[in-house]
Structure 1
């Protein structure tokens, strides 16, 4: 079974629920670290566990969702082995995977529709890192 983690704030609850249902139908085991409410919460509380699981190799990929996607991505990118990509189209998602080896997809709930978000998730999971000339660049992202 394929494992993935997801985290969201109040702006992303409906998105998270739709994405989880979609992923489970595709055979994924989804660990939900997100809120299940639309009551205001602090997004870092729900993003740190996702980034930690990716950082520690517990799962290869994570999905994070907040209103703009920015706060979630900023939080996740504090982790040395995380490359969280803020994306709003499938094309940007594909490039984030192909060229940047993104391992967390950050979705801006207030700027995408649920069908767009699901399509972005599919692109994220179905697109491989190209390596090659991009590998050296990705290696320079981490501050070891």
Structure 2
């Protein structure tokens, strides 16, 4: 299979978090990483013409294909697929929406447990979110 070229590589949680980092933080980061990479692949394949109708029409098989083409494993949960759709809305400049209700209750519980406040100062995060722009949080280990 030919992989997409030109996509920036993103480190996995294993690459950036210190040993002993709680598993749910690493899983959440890797889930968001996969969603971002897969959304970028879909966005580029679709030539950037993003509409709500197009996002709603993307099948699981299409997401799986885009992930593989980008060199990733297929999205493994409904939560990851919802994150892909959210990333596409951000890439297309569409208004944010609540994540789709995941059918996978375990994934939903994991996501709720790994709040952004564990990784980012809540006041700084609130200031950025007030701008109304899409945000990708990428943790950088302290020096």
TM-score by length of 2: 0.24
- More helix per residue: 2
Q: Which has the higher contact order (CA 8 A, sep 6+)?
A: 2
- More strand per residue: 1
Say which one has the larger Rg. 2
